[in-house]
Chains A and B, each alone.
Chain A
């Protein structure tokens, strides 16, 4: 395997200066741990969501190699401090080695989370048309934690963001997960939902929105789930393009900047997680990955799973950019939802 490619990201000049904000507030955010390996196995997806920071779609072809999957498993096996595997995409279930990746990580005793878009259960593979209807049973058998995006508990917002018909398919997919015991009290099978705003505004408080989701989904469809994660939309890629085309980019960034919360900054997920791209390169988070802002060690050398060194990874300086204001606004935002109760 060749050595990691040089850092390619060129820092943009921005009046929304995250590093400057941290300096002004005397906040230092070094990595605290690496307890989660988040692996983006493919950009292929059955959906084309309007806010998607990955720009995932049925036409994307990027996928992690078999060698890359093996290397991730090797890293998980060798590092007991990395207790969680968080598999994302695209729709990760469309990756040809997805099932084996899950099963072998579970066999290593790792807590496995899958970012499951729900509709793939019904849509199947967008290219080969292979079914993915087996997923609820597969998840349950492996006791995977399922984390699913459902932008709202009503059709209007959900379909606006994820495409016409997405809400009804998502409801059916949730029903199938509930049948397996997901989200059902006492089952131990965890089903968490993800809310994100359907535009350039901040999420409502997580606890109150979770109560609304639980009441509405139960009353309207008889559905249950465990927790709701509220996530702020990232002003990058497809969503940034929408903001710029509609003349709302500056206003959104100003909103995020005005809502900067030092408490949320302390809890940013990049302090305890690393993100792995389909080509094996390591990033501070999935958002940096999509912007190709490589994580770099103390000597400014790019990091990769193919020459993985835990101490080099933990000793890195996290690379922040203007989009990081989305993780520190209001109650904070991470792949696990709000980071404070503010």
Chain B
């Protein structure tokens, strides 16, 4: 292997069960229950949330997987791009709102 994040490695997700099968089984059941069925949110809405989180967390596996999942649940490219913008503004907002801390401290420091 010459690179991190080989796209082929996505297929090995199940291998997290090595050395900790019971925990992996619990995780995959939880994962399937949350993402694989319509609930209070539709599978499409969940896929769009997951796509946004994939970008916020900068996970290339998840971006590939949830781009496909969005299409397979009927999301359109505008909805997908808007979901990424939600992730982007959340990250920008989180950065900017920390400036309140900076300003608080600034006030303390300035005579």
| Residues of A in contact with B (beta carbons under 8 Å apart) | 152, 154, 156-157, 197, 199, 201-205, 208-209, 212
Contacts and interface: CB of A to CB of B under 8 A. Distances in A.
Contacts of A209: 74
Nearest to B8: A251
B46 to A, nearest CB: 13
B11 to A, nearest CB: 8
A208 B74 contact: yes
Interface of A is mostly: loop
A145 B44 CA distance: 32
B76 A204 contact: no
Interface string B46-90: 000000000000000000000010011110111000000000000
B73 to A, nearest CB: 5
B91 to A, nearest CB: 27
A212 B74 contact: yes
Contacts of A203: 72
A204 B77 contact: no
Contacts of B77: 154, 156-157
Interface of B: 42, 44, 68, 71-74, 76-78
A73 B54 CA distance: 57
Contacts, number: 29
Given A197-B72, A209-B74, A212-B76, 7 more contacts: A154-B76, A154-B77, A154-B78, A203-B72, A204-B71, A208-B42, A212-B74
Interface of B is mostly: helix
* B42, B74, B76, B78 — most chain A CB neighbours (10 Å): B74
Nearest to B68: A201
A201 B71 contact: yes
Contacts of B68: 201
A264 B63 CA distance: 30
B74 A202 contact: no
Nearest to B77: A156
21 contacts: A152-B76, A154-B76, A154-B78, A156-B77, A157-B76, A157-B77, A197-B72, A199-B71, A201-B71, A201-B72, A202-B72, A204-B44, A204-B72, A204-B74, A205-B73, A205-B74, A208-B44, A208-B73, A208-B74, A212-B74, A212-B76
A228 to B, nearest CB: 11
Contact of B73 (A152, A156, A199, A204): A204
A256 to B, nearest CB: 12
B28 to A, nearest CB: 15
Contacts of B78: 154
Contacts of A152: 76
A201 B47 CA distance: 15
A197 B71 CA distance: 8
A11 B73 CA distance: 35
Contacts of A208: 42, 44, 73-74
Contacts of B71: 197, 199, 201, 204
A33 B42 CA distance: 38
A203 B76 CA distance: 12
Contacts of A202: 72
A208 B72 CA distance: 11
A285 B75 CA distance: 31
